[in-house]
């Protein structure tokens, strides 16, 4: 081998860039592939926040977690969970250190962009039965037409009975869809700007086309649809007012690429962080600091409502923990550290101009540490301190985690936010960390398995 030059030594000493894991640590590929089999299974089980809660609680219970009891006495190593209104969960493993040394919080979200049914959704028009929808979160509306869709949700009947509705997931189930124009007749629609290509009131879901057999009926196609819902779920039209029904893509999580290096699926923002955080939480046997792993709802609409992180439910939980341990709550919060675990936009070579390449995250370079999010001049951002960045980087380096740093796109290209600012409002040091995603918020999001695996490793390093 040729002798290295002084300059080459200096480059190694002074410069830094995140390596491609596939090149630097090819042995991780098989571990990442194996880890992502469980991840895909989780995605297929859990396409709504409620289904995520069920899937998470199932895994926690199997791992020995018990429902949190405010009046119990807990020892280091004990594992508990707390469910907030069936739509968010917190899991804890009690640590060896006194609680005033601080908690390790890790917050991911389990809601994803989708189409919600309107409160009065069902109608008949020109011999077809359809559902009116109201989109939830940031979607590009044109992406939701002409793809198979499934119906997921709950109905609270008049007698209080709660019925789970899922149609379109079993192979024998029918699916649903939003129609779009054929190119032959789209001349006028083609003149619309892309953002206006499909409008909110055009996101109508086709649910039936045959009439109920009775000449005396005014809306027989709607009636047949109602009759079928009644037969299957015992529900009537009035029950839609007591329901939460979500329309999501009907397809399953799959491998993408000849090399199967990526996962393609709906809802990876932010179930990819939820799953990796869950696995790290479950595997933590005796952490130094007490863990608080949060699976939150409502992030995609600004963390609003009492199941979102712009409410006090996490604070109340931490208050209970502190009181139980006889710890001063303010000291606990001030000494705590939080990862706001959410996805970031992966650099897309096809749309390179919205990224600033030196500060974008790339697939296969590991989890992405995001110092700040926000829009324009960091508006709405948490903006982690240098000290917080240093702490988290040191934890990852100590465990050989592949990580990179990235902004959400180029300056002034747009922007976005996460739960980070709501946690930091509680006087907790917080920084964003997660998985780079391509086609974020689309019905079919793309992640790299090596990044998913290294995010899981980062969460384990954080709890250690
Ligand atoms: Mn997210
Ligand atoms: Mn999002």
Q: Are residues 289 and 408 in the same domain?
A: yes
- Which residues are within 5 Å of ligand 2 (an ion), measured at CB? 269
Mean pLDDT along residues 77-94: 98
Among the bound ligands, name the one nearest to the CA of residue 139.
2
Among the bound ligands, name the one nearest to the CA of residue 270.
1
Among 350-364, 372-386, 430-444, the range scoring the smallest mean pLDDT is 372-386
Q: How many domains does the chain have?
A: 2
pLDDT at 2 over 90: no
Rounded to a whole number of angstroms, the CA Rg of the chain reads 24
Give the CATH number of the domain where residue 65 resides.
Answer: 3.40.630.10
Give the CATH number of the domain where residue 120 resides.
Answer: 2.30.250.10
Query: How far does the centroid of ligand 2 lie from the alpha carbon of residue 67, in Å?
Result: 29
Among the bound ligands, name the one nearest to the CA of residue 418.
1
Query: How far does the centroid of ligand 1 lie from the alpha carbon of residue 113, in Å?
Result: 9
Query: How far does the centroid of ligand 2 lie from the alpha carbon of residue 314, in Å?
Result: 20
The pLDDT tens digits of the residues spanning 249-295 come to: 999 999 999 999 999 999 999 999 999 999 999 999 999 999 999 99
Q: What is the mean pLDDT of the chain?
A: 97
Q: Are residues 277 and 403 in the same domain?
A: yes
| Whole-number pLDDT of residue 436 | 98
Q: Are residues 282 and 348 in the same domain?
A: yes
What is the rounded distance in angstroms from the CA atom of residue 419 to the CA atom of residue 463?
Answer: 19
| Whole-number pLDDT of residue 462 | 98
The pLDDT tens digits of the residues spanning 391-405 come to: 999 999 999 999 999
Give the model's confidence band at 3: pLDDT under 50 very low, under 70 low, under 90 confident, else very high. confident
Q: Are residues 98 and 122 in the same domain?
A: no
pLDDT at 1 over 70: no
Q: What domain range is 160 assigned to? A: 114-249
Mean pLDDT along residues 429-437: 97
Mean pLDDT along residues 426-443: 97
Q: Which of 216, 249, 282 is the last residue of a domain?
A: 249
Among the bound ligands, name the one nearest to the CA of residue 441.
2
Q: Are residues 313 and 451 in the same domain?
A: yes
Query: How far does the centroid of ligand 2 lie from the alpha carbon of residue 127, in Å?
Result: 37
The pLDDT tens digits of the residues spanning 190-245 come to: 999 999 999 999 999 999 999 999 999 999 999 999 999 999 999 999 999 999 99
Query: How far does the centroid of ligand 1 lie from the alpha carbon of residue 328, in Å?
Result: 32
Q: Are residues 403 and 418 in the same domain?
A: yes
The pLDDT tens digits of the residues spanning 312-358 come to: 999 999 999 999 999 999 999 999 999 999 999 999 999 999 999 99
Query: How far does the centroid of ligand 1 lie from the alpha carbon of residue 343, in Å?
Result: 5
Residues 211 and 220 sit within 8 Å (Cβ to Cβ): yes
Which has the closest alpha carbon to 36: 460, 464, 461, 446? 446
Q: Is residue 254 part of a domain?
A: no
- How many other CB atoms are found less than 10 A from the CB of residue 110? 30
Q: Are residues 97 and 123 in the same domain?
A: no
Which has the closest alpha carbon to 287: 62, 116, 127, 103? 103
Which has the closest alpha carbon to 251: 141, 138, 147, 111? 147
Query: How far does the centroid of ligand 2 lie from the alpha carbon of residue 407, in Å?
Result: 15
């Amino acid at each position: 081998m040729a002798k290295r030059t002084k300059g080459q030594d200096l480059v190694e000493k002074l410069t830094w860039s995140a390596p491609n894991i596939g090149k630097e640590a090819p042995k991780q590929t098989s571990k990442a592939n194996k880890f992502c089999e469980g991840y895909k299974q989780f995605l297929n089980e859990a396409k709504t926040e409620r289904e995520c809660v069920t899937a998470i609680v199932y895994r926690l219970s199997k791992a020995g977690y018990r429902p949190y009891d405010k009046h119990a006495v807990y020892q280091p190593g004990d594992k508990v969970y707390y469910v907030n209104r069936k739509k968010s969960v917190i899991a804890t493993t009690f640590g060896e250190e006194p609680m005033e040394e601080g908690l390790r919080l890790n917050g991911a979200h389990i809601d994803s962009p989708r189409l919600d049914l309107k409160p009065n959704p069902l109608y008949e028009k020109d011999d077809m039965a359809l559902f009116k929808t109201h989109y939830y979160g940031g979607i590009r509306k044109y992406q939701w037409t002409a793809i198979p869709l499934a119906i997921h949700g709950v109905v609270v009947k008049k007698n209080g009975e709660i019925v789970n509705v899922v149609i379109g997931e079993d192979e024998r189930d029918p699916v649903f869809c939003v129609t779009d124009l054929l190119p032959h007749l789209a001349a006028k629609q083609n003149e619309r700007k892309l953002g206006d290509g499909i409008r909110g009131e055009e996101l109508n879901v086709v649910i039936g086309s045959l009439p109920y057999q009775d000449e005396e009926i005014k809306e027989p196609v709607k009636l047949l649809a109602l009759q079928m819902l009644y037969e299957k779920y015992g529900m009537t039209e009035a029950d839609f007012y007591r329901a939460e029904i979500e329309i999501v893509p009907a397809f399953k999580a799959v491998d993408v690429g000849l090399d199967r290096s990526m996962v393609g699926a709906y809802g990876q923002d932010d179930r990819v962080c939820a799953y990796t955080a869950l696995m790290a939480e479950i595997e933590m046997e005796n952490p130094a600091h007490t863990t608080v792993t949060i699976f939150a709802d409502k992030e995609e609409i600004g963390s609003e409502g009492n199941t979102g992180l712009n409410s006090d439910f996490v604070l109340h939980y931490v208050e209970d923990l502190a009181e139980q341990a006889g710890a001063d709550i303010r000291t606990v919060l001030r000494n705590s550290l939080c990862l706001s675990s959410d996805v970031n936009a992966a650099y897309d070579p096809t749309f390179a101009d919205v990224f600033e390449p030196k500060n974008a995250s790339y697939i296969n370079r590991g989890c992405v540490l995001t110092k700040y999010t926000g829009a324009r001049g960091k508006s709405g951002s948490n903006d982690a301190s240098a000290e917080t960045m240093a702490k988290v980087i040191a934890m990852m380096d100590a465990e050989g985690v592949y990580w990179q740093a990235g902004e959400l796109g180029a300056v002034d290209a747009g922007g976005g936010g996460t739960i980070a600012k709501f946690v930091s409002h509680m006087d907790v040091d917080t920084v964003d960390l997660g998985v780079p995603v391509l086609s974020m918020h689309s019905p079919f999001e793309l992640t790299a398995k090596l990044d998913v695996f290294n995010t899981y490793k980062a969460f384990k390093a954080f709890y250690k």
